[in-house]
Amino acid sequence: MYQKNAHAAMPIASLTKLMTALVVLEARQNMAEKLVVTSADFDRLKYSSSRLRVRTRLSRSEMLHIALMSSENRAASALGRNYPGGTRAFVARMNAKARALGMRSTRYVEPTGLSSANVASPADLAKLVMAVEKHPLIRRYSTDRNFSIRQGRRQTAYHNSNRLTASPNWKIRVQKTGYISEAGRCMVLHATVKGRPTVMVFLDAQGKFSRAADANSVRAWLSRFNPWARG
């Protein structure tokens, strides 16, 4: 219904994790299997912080949960590292899946989104969002508002990185946010607006709250003018 720079390939930051989740689920690996966080999962690109400590053991399901809901980078790294053939094979599968979905401008080099070499166009990301929306676990994990894990004797509480999930004005089925300096603030949504499934993609927003404000503006426009009725 509206697009701007729809076919321009840009860094996508943690929107990458939607493809990470899709590859994990389509591999049909044991979701109850325990994965261990190691020093190999440290962020050596941006040196970002993480509350997921080395030697923490979580199920594959828990790793996927916090990777999608809270954009936990060490969890996403552990998921890729524990794929058959390791991270290199995982990234190859990410790119193969992108090609299968017709994402012609997309390229992945790692599973977290910390690298600015992970790029895609808005049109490509819309295809990815429609593909992942078919998976109930991705829908649930990406939209959960809170989730806690156990690290040793302590509980660590995680919260959704997208404040729109707490808004009563939104009916969100899938969401993911992302940020690195090269990508700006990014967000994708699969939401119901006026009773219709709607995909929104926002890349390279500059202010901390601008992507949510843009999404609210688009939802208001769709609700007011009902562009589906045209033509």
Q: Is residue 156 part of a domain?
A: yes
1 in a structural domain: no
Q: Which residues are catalytic?
A: 14, 17, 71
Classify residue 103: in a domain, yes or no: yes
Which domain CATH number covers 62? 3.40.710.10
Range of the domain at 111: 10-229
Q: Does residue 168 belong to any structural domain of this protein?
A: yes
Decide if 160 is inside a domain.
yes
| H-state helical runs in the chain | 16-26, 60-70, 73-81, 86-100, 122-132, 136-143, 210-225
> Is position 188 within any domain?
yes
The reply to whether 76 falls in a domain is yes
Domain count, the chain: 1
> Does residue 4 lie in a domain region?
no
| Dihedral class, residue 197 (left if φ above 0, else alpha if ψ from -120 to 50, else beta) | beta
- Do 29 and 41 contact (CB within 8 A), yes or no? no
Cα separation of 19 and 108, whole Å?
Answer: 9
Tens-binned pLDDT, residue by residue, of the chain (231 aa): 778 888 999 999 999 999 999 999 999 999 999 999 999 999 999 889 899 999 999 999 999 999 999 999 999 999 999 999 999 999 999 999 999 999 999 999 999 999 999 999 999 999 999 999 999 999 999 999 999 999 988 999 999 999 999 999 999 999 999 999 999 999 999 999 988 999 999 999 887 788 899 889 989 888 887 765 654
pTM score of the predicted model? 0.95
| Cα–Cα distance list, 151 to 36, 43, 48, 57, 58 (Å) | 11, 20, 20, 8, 9
pLDDT at residue number 227: 67
Radius of gyration of the chain (CA): 17
Task: Tell me what pLDDT residue 229 has.
Answer: 61
Rounded Cα distance, 7 and 119, in Å: 11
Residue among 175, 214, 209, 211 at smallest CA distance from 192: 175
Contact 175, 165 (CB under 8 A): yes
